[in-house]
Amino acid sequence: MAGVAPERSTLLHLVAGGCGGTVGAIFTCPLEVIKTRLQSSRLAFRAIYYPQVHLGTLSGDGMVRPASLPPSLIQVLKSILEKEGPKSLFRGLGPNLVGVAPSRAVYFACYSGAKEQFSHIFAPNSSIVHICSAASAAFVTNSLMNPIWMVKTRMQLERRVHGSKQMNTLQCARYVYRSEGVRGFYRGLTASYAGISETIICFAIYERLKQHLKDPSWSPFTGSPEMNSTNFFGIMAAAAISKGCASCIAYPHEVIRTRLREEGTKYRTFMQTARLVFQEEGYFAFYRGLFAQLMRQIPNTAIVLSTYELIVYLLEDQIK
């Protein structure tokens, strides 16, 4: 970022990324809860929706295969509201808010710094620069934040009964530590690393669309450096398109990660989980909850990236 000292540039991206992530997390939390429930293999959850048939599996464990299609997003939403109450749609919001601001802050700061470094190695603002920057930032962020996301997933999978008291964030973290030790907080990390491919695809498409948005001959969006409503909504559209494409391509890692984070699960490693899901439930199980994911991630990413770009624009002149 020309004209801004490296330390202040990093601070700028920390603040902008944190604010964007927080706004997006609050607005899309209910959809994330529904998506996580749909990804889960918990038999207690499945029993709510449809009749079952007990089968044996290649792993030797018993499983329950549904006699009909998996529940829809609306069915899950209706069941949560009826059986657990509206508050359950915000399960995991605590660790989400605790984690999303620093994770987004770390991500965007690493992404911005890596982009500057890789621009000295490769052609500036080229696709390879965006790919390497996104991969580096995602690796650092996933490694640091996995314990918080692990606790969030456990809380979202916990079914609430009316009148019962559920574990809060600290209680859930203590329970994970007592029952599984420090290693328990890193369940699903390999799947998160596999999910770096989604981040790479998203930011490669996003940066390319941003470049086109600045070209008056290519699109109706203004190429002016001044931020206005046209630029803002153009950035939102670019973010939505890039995240939608990336989510559809790389979604199976999300299902595998949720299965690895379940309590008392038979799933142990990334490849073993992928093999079991395919053998027991078929290929389409890898896309369970995709619609809820798209409904959550597309607006969430549009909110996060547009808020980030807006805050960078507003604060950039203040810290020069």
Dist CA 186 CA 318 (whole Å): 39
pLDDT of residue 21: 76
Q: How far apart are CA 137 and CA 111, in angstroms?
A: 5
Q: What whole-number distance in Å separates Cα of residue 102 and Cα of residue 6?
A: 19
Our count of domains for the chain comes to: 1
Quote the CA–CA distance of 143 and 242 in Å, as a whole number: 24
Does the pLDDT value for residue 268 go beyond 60?
Answer: yes
Arithmetic mean of pLDDT over the chain: 80
With beta carbons less than 8 A apart as the criterion, state whether 277 and 238 touch. no
The 10 Å CB-count burial string (b at 16+, else e) for 177-187 is eeeeeeebbeb
The confidence score (pLDDT) of residue 215 equals 65
First to last CA, the chain: 10
Q: In which band, very low, low, confident or very high, does the pLDDT at 227 lie, cut at 50, 70 and 90?
A: low
Domain presence at residue 179: yes
- Say if residue 165's pLDDT is above 80: no
Q: Which two tokens stand for residue 212?
A: 């086109």
**Which tops the pLDDT comparison, 87 or 179?**
179
* Residues of the domain holding 267: 6-319
Per-residue pLDDT band for 66 (boundaries 50, 70, 90) equals very low
Q: Which residues fall within 8 angstroms of residue 163, CB to CB, at 6 or more apart? A: none
Q: What is the CATH number of the domain that holds 101?
A: 1.50.40.10
Q: For residues 128 and 193, what is the distance between their CA atoms, to the nearest angstrom?
A: 19
Running DSSP on this structure, what letter comes out for residue 242?
H
| Secondary structure (3-state) at 62 | strand
- pLDDT at residue number 73: 84
Buried b / exposed e over 109-119, threshold 16 CB at 10 Å, is: bbbbbbbeebe
Dump pLDDT digits (tens) for 113-138. Answer: 899 899 999 998 888 998 999 999 99
121 falls within a domain = yes
Residue 307 covered by a domain: yes
Residue 1 placed within a domain: no
> Residue 48 and residue 32: Cα distance in Å, rounded?
19
φ, ψ (nearest 5 deg) of residue 52:
-135, 160
Per-residue pLDDT of 68-101, as tens digits, reads 566 778 888 888 888 888 888 888 888 877 777 7
Confidence grade of residue 259 (pLDDT, cut at 50, 70, 90)? very high
Q: Is the pLDDT of residue 162 over 80?
A: no
Number of other residues whose CB lies within 10 A of the CB of residue 258: 26
| Whole-number Å distance between alpha carbons of 86 and 78 | 10
